[in-house]
Chain A
């Protein structure tokens, strides 16, 4: 299934004008500051906001169709489970009849929460509620899955749990997924492409790796200026693909493929080999120094290569220039691990 959309929404002073397209099975992360129009774009795609333009799914324009005729799965912030229905009835809501109950059971089982089928939303934790909401949206086999910050309201352990569930089920899902997120980790971990909105306009549309390397706006640099190290985790070490390794704060049962995400501002650069608490230190070569708002982004080659965000004063003090050899360091606690 493919999505090609060109959406205009006017809400008083605010106007949203965004094109969004995606191929079969592709996951698009939608990022942007508050009020940039991310949720509005999702609502327009779902048919819940008055819009002009087109929403083509597999070539068929849905722009004029009522939401109930679009078969689009929408998971709003905080899940919005029907409070008067059990988890199972929530999931069965869009399927209906006897088949609905079986389908709901099946989905709850897949997400590992079948034992919660009879519970009301008020008796579910945030993470469990998100899983039920995800099951409710997926149970209808929607052509388009729209997730509005599915992890933002969760605590850290629930986030890890739901993130894993999302990864598993988004990988199985053959429709297009659009995921609004505030978290670079999610954009990097889930998305094939990241679309950045600011003030109702698309400012960048690129694969996550390109966004982390070359974010086009200051806001994006701060959000997405992160390093993503793909590799194999084993115990408390991540062996990075292409050479090098990172020490982790907590051991993981492995070996397993994983992604270590380190924000650029958490990478320190040094002239000499550092002797601090940072567990990871390695030699790198400066390749490029570019301004990003009030800070400087320093791209370095090495094993692994890394992007650091430092102040202009540090650039001067450390004499950071292309080809210069320096040390990079990262505290183990700054590495967010995402199991793949």
Chain B
């Protein structure tokens, strides 16, 4: 059985696909392929790349350490204000990153509520990235835990296992695919983070100038270098997507 596909729908979908695909194509077509080697191995690029990896992996570590317990609480415990907490976790997903950066300044800046003096430091860049990336991890892991049959945890309890030990020995191993998927999403988001980072941590080469900031800074001065750096970010994003393809299938049971 086949039903007619309206031309207007097809046309809109085609334009939509082009809107998504053409920019990527642009990067690939205009990439300075012949100069790629020297452009990508320049001192500035390598510094930004190293900083990006440090910050995004640090943000991922923060997200895992704080986000997995948060996800477990949301999925497995009932408490007052749970709805508020879940909304709070979702806020960075919809908040403009620049506003996130401003908010971070007001919270953890020199004159913030909790004056940790994180602003304009590498730690600050890491915190900004964790702020925007953690929701991806929390929501993915929460979904994985919520869809896990709670009888496994109940059986473990009757076998004398404390809640913490049950989490470590039963829950975590069984939701590992979900944790991996959430980690990949969160890492990709942290790696690409721009707005919150530049607002909260500034754009200091070697300290807070991560790859996306470097791209933005370089675009005026040396467009070829900016495109080359964009290509690097595009390849990393594509790699995450490929890595996730199988994870989603597992966690989406």
Contact = CB atoms under 8 A, between A and B. Distances in A.
Interface of A: 43, 46-48, 66-74, 76, 80, 82-84, 93-94, 136-137, 140
B159 interface: yes
Q: Closest 4 A-B residue pairs measured CB to CB?
A: A94-B159, A67-B157, A80-B151, A74-B158
B149 to A, nearest CB: 7
A48 B159 contact: no
Given A68-B161, A80-B154, A94-B160, 5 more contacts: A46-B154, A48-B154, A69-B160, A71-B160, A84-B173
Contacts of B163: 68
B152 interface: yes
Contacts of A66: 157
A168 B234 CA distance: 64
A93 B158 contact: no
B147 interface: no
A76 B155 contact: yes
Contacts of B174: 82-84
A72 B170 contact: no
A137 B157 CA distance: 12
B217 interface: no
B250 to A, nearest CB: 12
Given A82-B170, A84-B173, A84-B174, A74 B160 contact: no
Nearest to A72: B158
The majority secondary structure among interface residues of chain B is helix
A93 B154 contact: no
B158 A46 contact: yes
A48 B149 CA distance: 14
Contacts of A94: 158-161
Contacts of A140: 159-160
Contacts of A72: 158
B107 interface: no
Contact of A68 (B151, B157, B173): B157
A68 B160 contact: yes
A75 to B, nearest CB: 8
A196 B231 CA distance: 70
A314 to B, nearest CB: 46
A39 to B, nearest CB: 11
A24 B76 CA distance: 36
Contact of B155 (A69, A80, A84): A80
B152 A80 contact: yes
B162 interface: yes
B156 interface: yes
Nearest to B151: A80
Interface in B135-181: 149, 151-152, 154-163, 169-170, 173-174
B157 A76 contact: no
B146 to A, nearest CB: 17
Contact of B152 (A43, A47, A82): A82
A76 B149 CA distance: 12
Contacts of A80: 149, 151-152, 154-155
A308 to B, nearest CB: 41
A72 B161 CA distance: 12
A72 B151 CA distance: 15
Nearest to B158: A74
A93 B170 CA distance: 10
Contacts of A137: 158-159
Contacts of B151: 76, 80
Contacts of B170: 82
A93 B152 contact: no
A242 B158 CA distance: 44
Contacts of B159: 68, 93-94, 136-137, 140
B156 to A, nearest CB: 7
